[in-house]
Structure 1
Amino acid sequence: MFGLYPFEEQWRSALACVTVVVMTVLSCIPAFWTGRRIALVWGTGAALYYVLMKGGVLGLAHVGEEAWGGLALTLFIFVTTCLIGFPLAICLALLRRSDLPWISRTTGLIIDGVRSLPLISILFTFAIVLPFALPQWLQGDKLYRVILGSALFFSAYQAEIVRGGMQGVPAGQEEAAMALGMSYWQRIGRILLPQAMRNALPATINQFVISFKETSLVVIVGFFEILASGNAAYGTGEWRFAYVEVYAFIALIYFVFVFSLSRYGAFLERRMSVGER
């Protein structure tokens, strides 16, 4: 559950997990679906998570990112990957459908190039290779470079999902909006994107599920998320007898999160289909 996090400070990691879960649940409640409320929930939750995990303030002992692990690290990587990758995916999708050929073709080359690479190679490049090409002041911590690589991979796939949703919107609707004198951003924000996201919802939920399970790949660059922490646990003499129980417990955690996400996706589909009628 806590990976390499110091034993005497593990209560902070537990509270950080609760913070992420509460933040996610509140984001799924329709009453919070306004820009100001969502920003308040995510801003407060992210700040509280970082303070609890990092410490160094309010009398909390400092714990470096290299000691983060377990469920808290898994949730952190997943949430930040989606938080960074989703807006980036929308930008890439809009750029790919640009009327300027050099923009659309360059964006398409970037998307297809990222999608043609396995995630492990991208994580390894951002964690190990990239520091050799960057100045010291621009390198940052390895964890954040890994998150950026994961977000780039997520955005490349999600951009194609969003673009597919846009193609499902009848062209006449955007033409009608242009005839009414609506600006480009008004057409995108009020006509195109809402319908595109509804069309792309099933594939989007599937992409979120895949991204949550792919957090286990960060073990390749030295991070002990929940699955790697389980491997390390039953590798010790104290837990060697219980490897089946360890994997069953980890499987249960993955099942709870992924099944809940899938059921929420089904709820959104029902809600949107009611809106159509």
Structure 2
Amino acid sequence: MNKVDPLPLSGDAMHRTPSSVGEGPPRQKRALPGPGDWILSTLSTLVLAFVLWRVLSWAVVNGVFGTTPQSCSDATGACWSVIRARWRIILFGLYPMEEQWRSAIASVIAVCTLALACMPRMWSAARMVPVWLGGYLLFLLFIHGGVFGLDVVTSSRWGGLTLTLLIYITVIAFGLPVAIGLALLRQSRYPVFRHLTAFIVDVTRSLPLLTILFSATVIIPLMLPHVLQGDKLVRSLVGFTFFFACYQSEIVRGGLQAVGRGQVEASQALGMSYWHTTSLITLPQAFRIAMPATINQFVITFKETSLVIIVGLFDLMASAQAAYHSGEWSAYHTEVYVFVALIYFIGSFSLSKYGKYVEKRFQTLR
């Protein structure tokens, strides 16, 4: 057998340390900003400062905060007098003036119900159901009346921010359970349920929300007797809720599919039933996985409540239009829409910050 001589090694290779053998290419040092970067940053800062100053000058420095249209006749900035004079119709719509305290209390109840439902200690069916049910019943008690000496106010008089909050909490409270049911049926072992649910969800998701609302308020009553037609607000809520449930069901189904199959098999080996496995193992993990998409859907739904104006409901956007449609305030529609946009921004921003909080909490619990 021929003897194989070892390969000769250079001096550098002989003195190379083991830690340097597997090193990749040297990391590039972070380059210092050049003159072009400084110029671009300076110009961007100046433009941003100019825009911010123009906005502050229009809204605050030159803004007018009187109570009459005459105080805004010579104004060069925003006329916030329209908000001071017309805030009631923006927030409460056509609700009777002497009963608007009930609409205000109902709005506070809706916000408090949402806040309680967002608390981690309430994340169980035994606590969540009483919170939503109690808050919803109290809301309807104050806004509708008919008990405890409160005058009855029909749904045709409801409007403004109160109606927007009613639509939102109704869609969320009833849409989430329906979404969970649709997601579970979509994964059923029975082909009939699985395919039928898939067909219903796909058809609903292929239609715009405006089509759903228009069908619920205009087309469906034409096919039903007068006794079964119901209230226009109720029909809109049913259509909006089912539309939300179909979208949310796909989010929940994605979370269910991300749960490891081994955990389900382990629970079956321990003798756990399907419902125990679903409620204690798969659904909690699915919601944890799908929480970012769920919060995003909540934000989208909150902004989509403005679409009910198309079917004649007097929501926040419709109230805003009514606030400046009077002759003396018709020139100050920009201020009204800025005020309404601020309300939508506060709601959407709060939901986004809550989603970030929940995401960090889940990362801590891992």
> What is the TM-score when the length of structure 2 is the normalising length?
0.73
Q: Percent identity?
A: 53
- Matched with 1:140 is 230
Determine whether 1:175 maps to 2:281. no
* Larger helix fraction of residues: 1
Q: 2: distance between equivalents of 1:261 and 1:49?
A: 21
Q: Does 1:230 align with 2:320?
A: yes
* AA aligned opposite 1:253: I
| Corresponding position of 1:63 | 153
CA offset digits 1:77-116 (Å, max 9, x no partner): 0110111111111111111111122211111000000000
- Bigger drift between 124-133 and 196-205 goes to 124-133
| Aligned mate of 1:188, from 269, 274, 278 | 278
* Counterparts of residues 60-209 of structure 1 (less than 5 Å): 60-209=150-299
2:280 aligns to what SS in structure 1? Answer: helix
CA deviation map 1:50-91 (0-9, x unaligned): 111111222222111011000000000011011111111111
What is the deviation of 1:241?
2.9
Name the CA distance, whole Å, in 2 between partners of 1:226 and 1:161: 28
> CA separation of 1:18/1:238 partners in 2, compared to 1, >3 Å: closer, same or farther?
farther
Give the deviation of 1:257 after TM superposition: 0.8
Shift of 1:41: 2.2
**What SS is found at the alignment partner of 2:167?**
helix
Aligned partners of 1:181 and 1:198: how far apart in 2?
A: 25
The answer for unaligned runs of 5 or more in structure 1 is: none
Name the residue aligned to 2:133. 43
Q: Give SS of 2:326's match.
A: coil
The alignment's C-alpha RMSD in Å is 1.2
Tell me the alpha carbon deviations over residues 151-188 of structure 1, each in whole angstroms, 9 at most, x when there is no partner: 11001110110011111111111111111111000111
Structure number with greater Rg is: 2
Structure 2 gaps, min length 5: 1-90
Say which SS state the counterpart of residue 175 (structure 1) adopts.
helix
State whether residues 295 and 352 of structure 2, in contact with CA within 8 Å, keep that contact through their aligned partners in structure 1: yes
Question: What's the TM-score once normalised by structure 1's chain length?
Answer: 0.96
User: Are positions 1:239 and 2:329 aligned together?
Assistant: yes
The letter of the residue matching 2:329 is: W
Q: Which has the higher contact order (CA 8 A, sep 6+)?
A: 1
The Cα offsets for residues 178-237 of structure 1, whole Å up to 9 and x where unpaired, read as: 111110001111111011111100100011111111111111111110011101211112
Which is further off, 83-92 or 136-145?
136-145
**Letter matched to residue 134 of structure 1:** L
Work out the CA distance in 2 between the residues paired with 1:30 and 1:202.
16
Letter in 1 for 2:226: Q
